[in-house]
Structure 1
Amino acid sequence: MALSALYAKLLVVLGIAFPVTEVLSERVPANFYQGFYLYLYIGSIFFMCFMYATLIKDRAILNIIKSHDSSKDNSHPKKPHDGPIIRYGSFYLRLGAIAFGIGSMVYSGLEFGQYFELKRDSKCSDILLVLTPATRMILTLVQMQFIFLNSMDMKMSAYKVVARFGLMHMIATNLCEWLYVLVEETRHEISRHHLSERSSDTHDIYECRRSNIMGSLVQNASPFLFPCTIEYSLICAVILYEMWKNVKPEKEEGSKSVHQELCTTNGKVDRGETGGAFRMTVNTPHSLHHFTVDCTSAHKGLFSGILVLVLTIISLILFFVLNEDPQYKQTAVFEVNVCELVLYIISTIAVIVCMIQMRGLKYHHSSLLVMAQTGMYIYCMFSIIGCSFGNEDSLAPGGMATELSSLIQTTCQTVFVLDASWRRCRTANQARRKPGRQIITFLLVANMAMWTINTLEKGHAEFRPSHLKFFGVWAWTVITHVSMPLAIFYRFHSTICLFEIWKSAYKMKV
């Protein structure tokens, strides 16, 4: 375990060093490190193929045993793994990985298409420029299936050395991909402001192109597709880390499976090893998993949240329309600041009221949410400093209040999620009334609205022109692109956690 973690750390350090070196130094050739990413992608694909091969082998052995079974009873053969199938990460987290993975594949496909615009000569025709995005697309597709369908059926304990190094290789691959996209997005943002663009690279790129159709498409689509790659890489890294932690020797794993089988029979909701994800398992002849959703005491919160989401989208559209006219740029920033301020205040009040309403529920006793919250804190703190010391003439009214309210809201919400994740109804009256569920439903949709705002803020530095002027384009762009991916993931993961609370907190614990 220690060696596999050390191996992953080395890969991540290289994943930081290579793209940053290309940005900072003009003496290295462009894309000199593509072979390193090709190694990461091929290694991950090879490991997943190996694990699928072991699964196919085990199933083939079972089929042979079944075909040679002389008994005529209708008993089913035992699965390769005793006990229930255990999946890492909640269903909704894995569903999010698929949604963002699709966006990541679209971006890789556009990069793949750029190769066919290059001239066919020795200087421009680098096979890695087509091989790397094509391999990345294959990796994304295979990894989506691996993440969504991952289970203990793969018997990783039987190949624990290979499994530990393979999973750590995949974790490092996703982290390196995240870091690469982070650096590329920062460079694109700075280039968009025409302040720091490597002239030699730019000249080479346009000298090699026969046309610039795909190149322009990649440049225009990147602000919308980059977040998909960032979210996808983070989610996959987290789920794979949970899998790596649970690679145990076969004896230890077998005893744990028996314990979990006892804990999940008869449809009881149990907290597994997924760091806060809850599931309902029913052992029936026809289906292993059975999910029930009770939507009572939720409609008011749902429609209130939808109203807030619609108003947020309208506000953002208004910002982009007004921002096109230099005369209304200050008005555009003020308008979006007011929208954020109102949204944060309403959400903070909702969180506090919901905590009060749920305090009567029984408390039975996620680090991931706390880690993602770091991005919110970094962005808010630098924004508060920018508001405090920036030029008053460039500051839009309400900027300081918006940043403070964002800081308060995310703190209150994290405390609420960590507390409410462990609460369950203790009486039938509570199960019938479902205290706080309307507000949880509202917060679910409100976090989608805040996710939309954060996603656009990350890709457009003009949301905070005063900070851009105070810190400088380089510094503020780096601050934004380092903190905002975690902030965006915080809003996405908060939505998942709130839904788990919405689904599980109002069931009677047997």
Structure 2
Amino acid sequence: MAFPITEIILKDVRPFFYQAFYLYLYLGSIAFVWYMHAIYFKENTLKQIIKTQKKDSKPGFIKKQKSHPIRYGSFYLRLGAIAFGIGSMVYSGLEFGQYFELKKNVECHSNILQAITPATRMVLTLVQVNFIFLNNKDFELDRHRTIARFGLMHMIATNLCEWLNVLVEETKHEINHLGNHTSDHTNASMTKKGGDIMGSLVTSASPFLFPCTIEYSLICAVILFEMWKKVKTVKIKNKQNKEHDKNATSVHKDEKITQHYNFSPLNNNPNNSNHYIIDCSNTYRGLFAGIMVIVLTIISLMFFVLAKEGGTSEIKKVAEFEVSIVELILYIITTIVVVVAMFQMRALKYDKKIGVDGRFGIGLDNTLLLVAQTGMFIYCMFSIIGYYFNMDNSPPIELLAEIFSFIQTCLQTMFVLDGWSRKCRNMKQAKNKPGRELITFLIVANMAMWIINTLEKNRAEFRQIHLKFFGDWTWTIITHITMPLAIFYRFHSTICLVEIWRSAYQFKATQRNSLFSLI
């Protein structure tokens, strides 16, 4: 925090003086990942040599042990993190290209680190995605505990520092964009940037790309912390290790059976266990209702954008009022749907899941959801306070929209935490799938709210009343801290709801045998 903030508040500090610190963070993380790859390839080569030498030995001399790599987070979370990583790399690429325009201007005080640092960040993003999300190898971090703990904690710190750096930089860009900042040093440097092609491109694209960097850093930091905790707690007692392996094997078998055999009216052949069939029954009405919501949302946002670009001040106020009405309707409808879905899914069995460490808990995906909800809480509370003290100048619709946004997120998070562990009790529930249509609607509705937050609400100037009440600096900082988390909340809510939609109506092996006996 000290390095990027110092550059803003002090005129005597040259721009980009702190780039070497971030270069150290990136290179340290890359070196750790490459070291773990080297260790893996070395051990794998030794195993192949031993296997070749003992090829003619007696049967059973070599005990084969199957090790299944641990997956942190659901498939949809990993897929989303890869998408955010791509956005982060695009953001870094624009900063890299900006250097070649700034170096022509002597007054900008650019240096070669301004090009090397974003290029190294792009390499780190690729390496980190491969290490966390795409790699099928089991690195056996517990066999190199000291190095693994240090390296993982360094990567966690790197992601958090990157989060803070981007947060400060984009807050500075937004304040300069508003045109009310009084610092000559900041205005001068940003004006020089804005006059160039790449500088203008960075300014235009950053409101959409910088949340990707923040969300990507958040996911990576949490997952790396889960990996660090696992390294920290292994090999305490042999008895605990055996129990842990037993639980992990049981979880793996259950997941395998669940994925490869989905007992439903569309897949009732017990011999057909090598195919994965997605049962989409009891979803169509919720899907079409959600599609209507997302279409109306996009239409309202198009009107808002056109009014903002070419309309008068009165038309702009009407456009903001119209978006607030759409938000209020969305929050009220989704609140009702969440409550009804809670009552419909009460009949399902509550079967708490076991985590990757063999223990019961809320899980990585739910932890990320709770972290992201803090952004929703902070933004909603500041917005409610701002509207309350300006009720004479703002319509009550906007205040109600923020209140219902707060209520909706609370209820939806409770619904996800409960529905995450729900399973069908009997054949009737597997056929009727109570609550599945409502979950389908919530999936698409959260996508619509994600679009609103991404395209409009992540800009400080979206709420002119709050700009005047809190001030440019304060409201811009609040927006840039909370809205990336709020955007991620909507994205990750969709992931969690999809996981509930997929897993809540499936059977395990013990249930499958009893059902066949009934048939």
Partner of 2:517: none
Structure 1 residue runs without a partner (length 5+): 1-15, 270-278, 283-288
3-state secondary structure, aligned to 1:126: coil
Partner of 2:501: 502
Residue 193 in 1 paired to residue 181 in 2?
no
Of the three residues 82, 101, 104, the one matched with 1:98 is: 82
Partner of 2:301: 316
Alpha-carbon contact 1:87-1:149 (below 8 Å) kept? no
Residues of 2 paired with 1:386 and 1:441: CA distance? Answer: 34
Shift of 1:411: 0.9
Residue 62 in 1 paired to residue 85 in 2?
no
Residues of 2 paired with 1:210 and 1:407: CA distance? Answer: 37
Code of the aligned partner of 1:351: V
Residues of 1 paired with 2:158 and 2:63: CA distance? Answer: 35
Shift of 1:254: 6.4
Distance 1:197 1:69, change over 3 A: farther
Alpha-carbon contact 1:364-1:424 (below 8 Å) kept? yes
Deviations 1:282-316 (A, max 9, x none): 9xxxxxx9865322211221221122111111111
The size of the alignment, in residue pairs, is: 477
Residues of 2 paired with 1:468 and 1:390: CA distance? Answer: 12
Residues of 2 paired with 1:201 and 1:294: CA distance? Answer: 56
Alpha-carbon contact 2:380-2:406 (below 8 Å) kept? yes
Of the three residues 243, 250, 263, the one matched with 1:262 is: 250
Partner of 1:337: 324
Deviations 1:308-334 (A, max 9, x none): 111111111111111231230110111
Code of the aligned partner of 1:265: K
Deviations 1:442-467 (A, max 9, x none): 10111111111122344322322211
Residues of 2 paired with 1:290 and 1:198: CA distance? Answer: 63
Residues of 1 paired with 2:28 and 2:85: CA distance? Answer: 19
Alpha-carbon contact 1:458-1:481 (below 8 Å) kept? no
Code of the aligned partner of 2:245: S
Residues of 1 paired with 2:77 and 2:54: CA distance? Answer: 41
3-state secondary structure, aligned to 2:347: coil
3-state secondary structure, aligned to 2:138: helix
Distance 1:464 1:111, change over 3 A: same
Residues of 1 paired with 2:76 and 2:227: CA distance? Answer: 17
Distance 1:297 1:199, change over 3 A: same
Alpha-carbon contact 1:350-1:439 (below 8 Å) kept? yes
Residues of 1 paired with 2:61 and 2:122: CA distance? Answer: 39
Shift of 1:73: 10
Q: Which moved more, 1:485-494 or 1:433-442?
A: 485-494
Residues of 1 paired with 2:260 and 2:144: CA distance? Answer: 27
Of the three residues 148, 152, 158, the one matched with 1:163 is: 148
Residue 246 in 1 paired to residue 224 in 2?
no
Q: Give the 5 Å matches for 1:419-430.
A: 419-430=418-429
3-state secondary structure, aligned to 1:154: coil
Residue 356 in 1 paired to residue 343 in 2?
yes
Shift of 1:383: 0.9
- Aligned-residue Cα RMSD (Å) equals 2.7
Identity %: 57
Distance 1:211 1:66, change over 3 A: farther
Residues of 2 paired with 1:21 and 1:280: CA distance? Answer: 52
Partner of 2:292: 307
Residues of 2 paired with 1:480 and 1:201: CA distance? Answer: 20
Alpha-carbon contact 2:8-2:186 (below 8 Å) kept? no
Shift of 1:400: 1.1
Residues of 1 paired with 2:285 and 2:84: CA distance? Answer: 29
Residues of 2 paired with 1:152 and 1:72: CA distance? Answer: 27
Alpha-carbon contact 1:305-1:446 (below 8 Å) kept? yes
Q: Which moved more, 1:237-246 or 1:150-159?
A: 150-159
Deviations 1:225-279 (A, max 9, x none): 111111111111111111111114456656523431134326567xxxxxxxxx8
Residues of 2 paired with 1:425 and 1:400: CA distance? Answer: 40
Alpha-carbon contact 1:190-1:197 (below 8 Å) kept? no
Deviations 1:165-194 (A, max 9, x none): 111111111111111111111111111111
3-state secondary structure, aligned to 1:84: coil
Distance 1:78 1:368, change over 3 A: farther
Partner of 1:218: 202
Distance 1:95 1:176, change over 3 A: same
Distance 1:135 1:227, change over 3 A: same
Distance 1:205 1:470, change over 3 A: closer
Partner of 1:44: 29
Partner of 2:121: 136
Partner of 1:469: 468
TM-score (ref. length: structure 2): 0.86
Residues of 2 paired with 1:126 and 1:20: CA distance? Answer: 19
Residues of 2 paired with 1:406 and 1:210: CA distance? Answer: 36
3-state secondary structure, aligned to 1:32: coil
3-state secondary structure, aligned to 1:359: helix
Q: Which moved more, 1:21-30 or 1:227-236?
A: 21-30
Shift of 1:507: 1.2
Q: Give the 5 Å matches for 1:22-33.
A: 22-33=7-18
Residues of 2 paired with 1:197 and 1:76: CA distance? Answer: 77
Shift of 1:202: 4.6
